[in-house]
């Protein structure tokens, strides 16, 4: 997580009003058929440009939004998961959910990866993601392939022991390179990082962008590099961060940049739908998505914490209902258990269990309530 506030970048003129995409295949792809972590087979239609290409060299398409003819329904079990700085109650919670006949969708560990072995032993269905925090980000300068080799060389020695229990590894954290060219460079970086991961038997969770990043036309250029087609074929996935404040639905349904407003998308939470509905679904390049940080973040609007815990569980249930409408979303890791230093105020441990002091629902009972969905 980063407390740096992201600036809004100006964008070129695009889409003056809502446009309906009438492609039946696109709608069908959204409304059903894909398992959360299923890879979609099929040849890549447009090979990616050479590693030296810049944004101006990319073969541009005209993208239209996917406007649904009917509203999708929430389905399946809960996609609420855990983010940990230190393991704390994570294993006990996974065990309690499992014993009640359900499973925790996602467990994301930073640095202290070892407890994920216990998580997998208890709940093999839980998707596990890990990140070593000793390396945060890169500047988009120089050759992206060489930089990827340097960065991966720092990560790989720290991944070896847990390689059999971590499904996906994050490499960077909340990079926001300047402009379209910077994001194209970052996509090239990850294309090279996937090569190295493949050669060493690892799968990556790509990008790990912060809430509100990137902008629509930056996604457009990223998609044109071919990275999602490559990730789909190789079994890598996408990681994003989504936060809201003071509620999860803050800025839901508002317009984003030069796009019209959509009632089924958000500027903060649900922002991933711009990428999937406008780009990946029409191109048949859908890959699984993990929200590796989610929850409340008062720094979005430059305020301090208020009494947030009484409304937290209900707000995360609202968010979970939206995630359950999209079968490509594997889970959302709520930030954070075991927080120290600046992250101690984000701890929600007591809300995991029945009988917490704030009244209302708790995460254990809620997740278990969806076990038969």
pLDDT in tens, 288-340: 999 999 999 999 999 999 999 999 999 999 999 999 999 999 999 999 999 98
- Confidence (pLDDT) at 57: 55
If you average pLDDT over residues 18-42, what whole number do you get? 34
Determine the pLDDT at residue 37.
Answer: 55
Helix (H, G, I), strand (E, B) or coil at 44: coil
Overall size of the chain counted in residues: 373
Q: With a cut of 50, say whether residue 190 has pLDDT above it.
A: yes
User: pLDDT per residue over 89-108, tens digit each?
Assistant: 999 999 999 999 999 999 99
Classified by CATH at the fold level, domain 77-369 comes out as TIM Barrel (3.20.20)
Residues 144-158 have a mean pLDDT of 98
The CA–CA distances, whole Å, from 59 to 31, 66, 72, 170, 221 equal 29, 21, 32, 29, 9
The pTM score is: 0.85
In order, the DSSP letters of 118-170 are: HHHHH-TTSEEEEE-TT-----S-S-HHHHHHHHHHHHHHHHSTTTTT-SEEE
At residue 257 the predicted structure's pLDDT band, cuts being 50, 70 and 90, is confident
Q: What is the pLDDT of residue 281?
A: 97
SS3 263: coil
* 304-343: b (≥16 Cβ within 10 Å) or e: eeeebbebbbebbbebbebbbbbbbbbbbbbbbbbbeeeb
């Amino acid at each position: 997580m980063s407390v740096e506030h992201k600036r809004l970048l100006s964008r070129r003129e695009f889409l003056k009003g809502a446009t309906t995409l009438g492609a039946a295949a696109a709608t069908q792809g959204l409304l059903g058929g894909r398992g959360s972590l299923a890879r979609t087979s099929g040849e890549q239609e447009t090979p990616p440009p050479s590693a030296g290409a810049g944004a101006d060299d990319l073969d541009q398409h005209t993208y239209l939004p996917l406007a649904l003819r009917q509203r999708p329904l929430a389905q399946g079990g809960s996609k609420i998961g855990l983010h940990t700085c230190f393991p704390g109650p994570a294993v006990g919670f996974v065990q309690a959910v499992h014993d009640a006949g359900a499973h925790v969708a996602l467990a994301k560990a930073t640095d202290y990866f070892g407890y994920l072995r216990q998580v997998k032993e208890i709940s093999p269905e839980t998707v596990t993601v890990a990140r070593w925090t000793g390396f945060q980000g890169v500047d988009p300068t120089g050759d992206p392939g060489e930089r990827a080799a340097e960065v991966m060389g720092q990560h790989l020695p720290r991944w070896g022991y847990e390689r059999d229990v971590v499904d996906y590894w994050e490499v960077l954290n909340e990079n926001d390179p300047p402009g379209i060219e910077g994001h194209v460079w970052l996509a090239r970086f990850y294309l090279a990082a996937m090569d190295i991961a493949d050669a060493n038997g690892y799968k990556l969770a790509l990008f790990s962008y912060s809430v509100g990043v990137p902008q629509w036309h930056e996604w457009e250029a990223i998609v044109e590099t071919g990275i999602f087609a490559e990730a789909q074929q190789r079994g890598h996935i996408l990681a994003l961060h989504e936060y809201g404040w003071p509620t999860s639905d803050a800025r839901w349904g508002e317009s984003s940049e030069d796009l019209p407003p959509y009632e089924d998308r958000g500027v903060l939470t649900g922002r991933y739908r711009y990428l999937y509905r406008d780009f990946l679904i029409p191109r048949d390049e859908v890959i699984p998505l993990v929200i590796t940080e989610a929850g409340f973040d008062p720094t979005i609007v430059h305020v301090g914490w208020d009494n947030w815990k009484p409304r937290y569980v209900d707000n995360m249930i609202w968010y979970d209902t939206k995630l359950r409408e999209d079968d490509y979303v594997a889970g959302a890791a709520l930030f954070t258990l075991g927080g120290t230093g600046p992250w101690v105020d984000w701890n929600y441990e007591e809300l995991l269990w029945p009988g917490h002091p704030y009244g209302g629902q708790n995460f254990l009972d809620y997740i278990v309530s969806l076990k038969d969905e």
